[in-house]
Structure 1
Amino acid sequence: MLVERYRPILYLQYLLLFVDLFLNSFIELLRFENVILLVLLVIQDVCILFAAIVVFLLFFNTFIFQAGLVNILVNKFRVTITVVFVYFCLCVGLHVWYMTLRWADPNTWIWGNQGIRALFIIQRTASVFYYYFYKRTCLKLADPRFYQDSDWIQKEFEKRR
């Protein structure tokens, strides 16, 4: 029953990851007008924000959060929260710099700039970590143990007293 309720949310999270992966992979090949490219980059950034919002909404829906044990969730998913934040910052930074360099001429060669190349490589490397940790978090949050009272939650609650 709970798994069925969570399935559409999981599909939404996978869709957001797929859009980000697709745009990361093919945005350089889409040399259209600058405005179209800008809209695609904004869509990518918005998808990352929506992905983070969905995870936090799932946090708020857990029994652990409702029982007041927010520390457990934060400690359990600290790496994912950090990776999502860092990846979003890297994407926004890369997109702003990328569009700044390309705005005057969409077909100009911008990869001679060492800084943009370095940021590009760092952002693409961070994307791998983002995909891994985000997907792992999606699957972990599908576990019914987070949405009902169980022994391990009681033990954690006893530790906090």
Structure 2
Amino acid sequence: MLVSRYMPILYIQYLLLFIDLFLNAFSSLLNFQDVVLLVLFVIQDVCILFAVIIIFLLFFNTYIFQAGLVTILINKFKMPIFVVFVYFALSVALHVWGMTLLWGDPKAFIWNSGYHTLFVCQRVGAVFYYFFYKRTALRLGDPRFYQDSDWIRREFEKRR
């Protein structure tokens, strides 16, 4: 992919990661009202969905995908795909449970150990999500994915 075409996409991906990081870090401090917290959680989940959509659009744009060698692409990026979906599931679960517990009193402290466990798992999952998502975004900028090359032919020969 041309650098001039890929850089805006990369900046959008970084913006979505930054928004997610910011909301993970500061959403507990910005809980003035129930509706504000709900909107912040919805924004965070929508940003994760947009990030996934962008990654899959980049997958669809590769030569490998267009040539019908989807299994090569999936095998190269199976861990990031798995991490993204696990992180999204953890985030939605945390947001739903948190809103259920905090609705009516957004400043309350939650003493539920199950919620704290889910909170820690979501934050640890966020670290893996940031790492794998950023690495995938940078790897998809490699021009080898957008043109026919010898390594694609070798991978195809391995699959037969």
| Corresponding letter in the other structure for 2:53 | I
The runs of 5 or more residues in structure 1 that have no matched partner are none
Query: 1:122 offset after TM fit, Å?
Result: 0.5
Is 1:129 equivalent to 2:128 in the alignment?
Answer: yes
SS in 1 for 2:157: helix
Name 1:70's counterpart in structure 2: 70
Distance in 2 between residues matched to 1:130 and 1:160, nearest whole Å: 29
Name 2:82's counterpart in structure 1: 82
Query: 1:36 offset after TM fit, Å?
Result: 1.2
Query: 1:116 offset after TM fit, Å?
Result: 0.7
Distance in 2 between residues matched to 1:64 and 1:143, nearest whole Å: 12
Asked whether the 8 Å contact 1:20–1:44 carries over to 2, the reply is yes
Query: 1:109 offset after TM fit, Å?
Result: 1.4
Name 2:151's counterpart in structure 1: 152
Query: 1:21 offset after TM fit, Å?
Result: 0.2
Distance in 1 between residues matched to 2:45 and 2:86, nearest whole Å: 12
Query: 1:31 offset after TM fit, Å?
Result: 2.0
Question: Alignment length, in residue pairs?
Answer: 160
- Which moved further from structure 2: 118-127 or 99-108? 99-108
Query: 1:66 offset after TM fit, Å?
Result: 0.5
TM-score relative to the length of structure 2 = 0.97
RMSD: 1.0
Asked whether the 8 Å contact 1:102–1:108 carries over to 2, the reply is yes
Name 1:118's counterpart in structure 2: 117
Distance in 2 between residues matched to 1:105 and 1:22, nearest whole Å: 23
Name 1:48's counterpart in structure 2: 48
SS in 1 for 2:115: helix
Identity percentage over the alignment? Answer: 71
| Corresponding letter in the other structure for 2:127 | V
The runs of 5 or more residues in structure 2 that have no matched partner are none
Instruction: Provide runs of 4+ in structure 1 moved above 3 Å.
Output: none
Distance in 1 between residues matched to 2:11 and 2:23, nearest whole Å: 18
| Corresponding letter in the other structure for 1:60 | F
Query: 1:106 offset after TM fit, Å?
Result: 1.4
Distance in 2 between residues matched to 1:76 and 1:145, nearest whole Å: 13
TM-score relative to the length of structure 1 = 0.97
Query: 1:158 offset after TM fit, Å?
Result: 2.5
Asked whether the 8 Å contact 1:83–1:130 carries over to 2, the reply is yes
Asked whether the 8 Å contact 1:80–1:133 carries over to 2, the reply is yes
